[in-house]
Amino acid sequence: MKPLIELKGVHKYYGKGKQRIAAVRDVTFQIEAGETFGLIGESGSGKSTLGKMLIGLEPPSEGEVRYAEKALWKGQSFHRPRPGEIQIVFQDPQSSLDPRMRVKEIILEPLRALPRLERLEKGGEERLHALIRRVGLKEEHLSRYPHEFSGGQRQRIAIARALITDPAFVILDEPTSALDVSVQAQVLNLLKELKQERNLTYLFISHNMSVIRYMCERMAVMCKGEVVETGTADEIFRTPSHPYTQTLLASLPSIFRDKRVEANV
């Protein structure tokens, strides 16, 4: 099976000359269709930069970024597959929703980039209502403004906005790290269910090991711009090979540590 996403030798530099900083160094991995791929690393490790490359906000300095076998970037210009095919949910739901727009306008906004017929079809009242109910909100919320909602509810709005275009691939850029722990679990479960129902592929970016473990089938560990380890989540959690991964795992409360690893210690 061909991978949906392919990154090959991707670099990203900021600045020039002596001040040049490599935010991402020689990153290579693939994401298969239908899986949840986790990307973990501390702040500044370049994981969000990779997300931005896939969504068209940051061009890579070197290397290839492919989606469904087509290059997303040619030089500095982004070649969007089909509007709405790739969507993103940002970390901070406080700033990702325009405070001056009603929820309905916010959710329907991505459709504005679509051709008229498709926009009318996907933006239909019934479809919108089904979607808003599916993410756990109510129809009457559609006419309200974002400031009237809690963080978890706002993130649900952001998720609805990402799904309105029927995307194939969704980038989740730390979608729960700004939320309370109890709300985190609800949102994560919602994302899991939506993935099953809609046959989505996720890139799940996070700095939280337990969240990654809960969500992802395969994962990559990033450290200082480099991918230090790639593999199935099970493998990495059971037998971390890179010292950085081991440190990350050691930082978790013991309840999350795999029993077999503990038996070996």
Partner 1 sequence: MSTALAEASVRRRTVNPFWYKLKKNPLALLGAGILAVILLLSLAAPLLSSYDPTKINIIERFAPPSAKHWFGTDEVGRDIFTRILYGARLSLGVGAAVVLTAGCIGTVIGAISGYVGGRVDQLIMRVMDMVLAFPSLVLAMAVAATLGPNLLNAMLAIAIVKIPVYVRLARAETLAVREKLFVQAAVTFGIPGWRIIGTHILPNVVSPVIIQVSLDIGDAVLAVATLGFLGLGAQPPTPEWGAMISVGWKYFLDYWWYPAFPGLFLFLASCGFNLIGDGVRDILDPKAAR
The 162-181 site mask, x for binding partner 1 (CB under 8 A), equals ---x----------------
170 or 190: whose CB is closer to partner 1?
A: 170
Task: Kindly state whether residue 88 participates in binding partner 1, applying the rule CB under 8 A.
Answer: yes
65 or 86: whose CB is closer to partner 1?
A: 86
To partner 1, the closest distance from the beta carbon of 22 in angstroms equals 23
Of positions 40, 55, 137, 188, contacts partner 1 by CB under 8 A: 55
39 or 97: whose CB is closer to partner 1?
A: 97
Q: How far apart are CA 265 and CA 171, in angstroms?
A: 36
Of positions 2, 20, 112, 129, contacts partner 1 by CB under 8 A: 112
Of positions 25, 122, 156, 161, contacts partner 1 by CB under 8 A: 161
Task: Kindly state whether residue 100 participates in binding partner 1, applying the rule CB under 8 A.
Answer: yes
Residue 235: how many other CB atoms lie within 10 Å: 14
Long-range pairs for 23-29: beta carbons < 8 A, 24 or more residues apart: 23/49, 23/225, 24/49, 24/50, 24/60, 24/225, 25/224, 25/225, 25/226, 26/63, 26/226, 27/63, 27/222, 27/225, 27/226, 27/227, 28/227, 29/220, 29/227, 29/230
157 or 215: whose CB is closer to partner 1?
A: 157
To partner 1, the closest distance from the beta carbon of 249 in angstroms equals 31
95 or 189: whose CB is closer to partner 1?
A: 95
